[in-house]
Amino acid sequence: MSIFGLRAHINEEKNVTFQILGWISFLVAWQIVAFVVNSNAIIPGPIAIVSSLPGLYSQDLLLKNLAFSLRLNLLAYVEAIAVALPIGFILGLYTPIGAFLRGITDSIRYIPLTAVTGIFIAWFGIYFNMKLQFLSFGIFIYLLPIVIERVAEVEDVYVQTAETLGASMWQTIRHVFLPAVLSRISASIIIITAVSWTYIIVAEGVNNEGGIGSMIYRAQRQSRLDKAFACLFVIIVVGMLQDKIFTFIDKKMWKYKYIQQEGNKQ
């Protein structure tokens, strides 16, 4: 069997056993290293990290802080999508405007967001609204070029068919562009989930108002790396669950996309 055949077989079977063994091997190796170092202040092992969870729950209000971060995350997504979609459509559909501003929309992705935290503090203060606007902007600058790209990718044959059937401009946007673009950017929105959690940690480091990011900063200041690592693992688990939920919703909303993917595999 060639290496390409082996790769295809593993992908199709979705071999969960290998994934479980990989995690077990990683955690065992980590625990061995932590045992050799023998210092939770340097490398806490998985056992020490798990042991810190009850304290995070009872003393540090883990669930309350996690709910704060999830609320911030979801609200920022809604705001970023609500702004990126209309702007992306305007720039993607009206070619002269899109061409005029294309260099700007492409370049904003390279803004180092951690460097503009002070600007957002000056504009919005140090409380929840600042964190929301900061995170929303972080999602927006990645999402906007993707929306423009997906609008440009809509095949002309569908647009011409709609026009032949007598559809107006708004009907063409509603029935041709909007479904095509939304079904395509949904995968990008799922991918950006991981990026959004990075910026949540940065935002919540400003003013100890709550959130799992604030918990990590407190744990670091107290030299409780076991608690800091536990918070990181909580974020990983929540992020993976969020990814699964978004994917499930995506499959329910855009069933034809996954039917086409299965057909292409066959």
- 148 CB-contact burial (10 Å; exposed 0-12 / middle 13-18 / buried 19+): buried
Answer yes or no: is pLDDT of 9 > 60.
no
Q: Is 207 left (phi over 0), alpha (psi -120 to 50) or beta?
A: left
Rg of the chain over Cα atoms, rounded to whole angstroms, equals 23
User: What's the rounded mean pLDDT across residues 44-63?
Assistant: 88
Inter-residue contact 135 to 203 (CB < 8 Å)? yes
First-to-last alpha carbon distance for the chain, in angstroms, is 19
Tokens of 52: 């810190």
Of 3-12, 83-92, 249-258, the least confident: 3-12
Read off the pLDDT band of 133 (50, 70, 90): very high
Picking from 61, 27, 62, the residue whose alpha carbon sits closest to that of residue 47 is 27
Residue 193, both tokens: 């989930």
Rounded to an integer, the average pLDDT of 55-83 is: 90
pLDDT of residue 262: 54
Query: Which among 79, 66, 114, 81 has a CA at the least distance from the CA of 242?
Result: 66
**What band does 176 get if pLDDT is binned at 50, 70 and 90?**
confident
What is the structure's pLDDT at 1?
45
Say if residues 126 and 206 touch (Cβ distance below 8 Å).
yes
Asked if residue 3 has pLDDT above 60, the reply is: no
192-210 burial, b if ≥16 CB within 10 A, otherwise e?
bbeebbebbbbbbbbeebb
Token pair in block for residue 152: 């440009």
Q: Which two tokens stand for residue 113?
A: 């967001």
According to the model, what pLDDT value does residue 243 have?
84
The first and second tokens of residue 2, run together, are: 């060639």
